[in-house]
Amino acid sequence: MNKGKIVFNNPPKIISTYSCVGSEEQKGPLGKFFSYCSEDNKFGKDSWEKAESEMQRLALYGAIKKAGLCETDIDILLAGDLLNQCVGSSFGLLEYDIPYVGLYGACSTCALGLALGASLYSGGIAKRVAAITSSHYCSSERQFRFPLEYGGQRTPTSQWTVTGAGAFILGDEGRISVKEAVFGISKDMGIKDINNLGAAMAPSCAETIKTYFSEGEKSPSDFDLIITGDLGYEGSDILKDLLLADGIDIRKNHTDCGILVYDRKKQDKHAGGSGCGCSASVMSAYVIKKMEEGELGDVLFIGTGALMNSLTMCQGQSIPAISHLVRLSSSEV
């Protein structure tokens, strides 16, 4: 296998996408793009974990319906979230009689799902693949930080886990295709601050982007948008610095899902959004929409994930990170 860039011989198209988010995301600048917004962040359930599962269920249901397909048309589900043992996905998608693969790539899971889905399609193993990813502020907060009502102060570098889910259905029809991918290598640069995940993830993201450009004839300016998953304000600045030091300039066309999802002035979210629902909802709602409308043609999407859990944090271990890249394109080449 090629350890660098993978070019799909038979790239899948994105048939449909569906996103569902909570109330804070609805109030953000992208509020009107999301397919489904719930005022009730519990999504009618009695626990935050069940709420996250419900988002997964709704996202897949919506995407299948939007594509005009039915359950039996989907060959495989690739789904992931941030909860221990990926229960958000496995419990949420329990009612579907579709082969299920649980993924864990932390916040890079959305890109991982797309890259794997495209591989399965391109290799002729699956005709239609659904990739679903979610995160929930409340369930993440409980698992990784403190109880919700606990009075803590957030540092300026901390990020806010997005309550949202996004589903993509890959197959034969559609304007946008998944052309290329890079599976990242995990990288640990010694950052130990759980409130500065952007800084922990930026080096792995830079590495994956470098791998992509190292063997191609393409340069960053060939893309309409280079969008990272959830580096936030802090991590994005670091990423641009790191890449610039290697002669790759992405300052003009880079943005980050974590930056787009909340209004920095009106919403008190510090360094921006995070979580796998962040890139999943922003990509499936906003970026895909802009691509369908023709505003964006060629997009590099790099999902960034921090691979720690609360035990490794308590043990004082530093935070390894991983970044996966997919190239989405609405052009024929």
> Where on the chain is the footprint of other proteins (CB under 8 A)?
22-24, 41-42, 46-49, 137-138, 141-142, 146-157, 163, 188-193, 196, 199, 203, 233-234, 237-238, 241-242, 267-268, 271, 318
Q: Which C-beta is closer to other proteins: that of 57 or that of 187?
A: 187
Classify the C-alpha dihedral 286-64-331-278 as positive or negative. Answer: positive
To the nearest whole angstrom, how small is the minimum distance from the Cβ of residue 148 to other proteins? 4
**Residue 116 three-state SS:** helix
Residue 318 region by backbone torsions, left for phi larger than 0, else alpha for psi between -120 and 50, else beta: beta
Q: Which C-beta is closer to other proteins: that of 142 or that of 175?
A: 142
Q: Which C-beta is closer to other proteins: that of 267 or that of 309?
A: 267
The pair of structure tokens assigned to 149 is 């009502």
Residues 6+ apart with CB under 8 A from 182: 4, 5, 6, 115, 208, 211, 212, 324, 325
User: Which residue in 189, 264, 190, 259 sits closest to 230, CA to CA?
Assistant: 259
How far is residue 50's CA from residue 196's CA, in Å, rounded to a whole number?
28
Q: Which C-beta is closer to other proteins: that of 245 or that of 333?
A: 245
To the nearest whole angstrom, how small is the minimum distance from the Cβ of residue 161 to other proteins? 10
To the nearest whole angstrom, how small is the minimum distance from the Cβ of residue 327 to other proteins? 27
To the nearest whole angstrom, how small is the minimum distance from the Cβ of residue 46 to other proteins? 7
CB-based contact 228:304 (threshold 8 Å) = yes
To the nearest whole angstrom, how small is the minimum distance from the Cβ of residue 262 to other proteins? 11
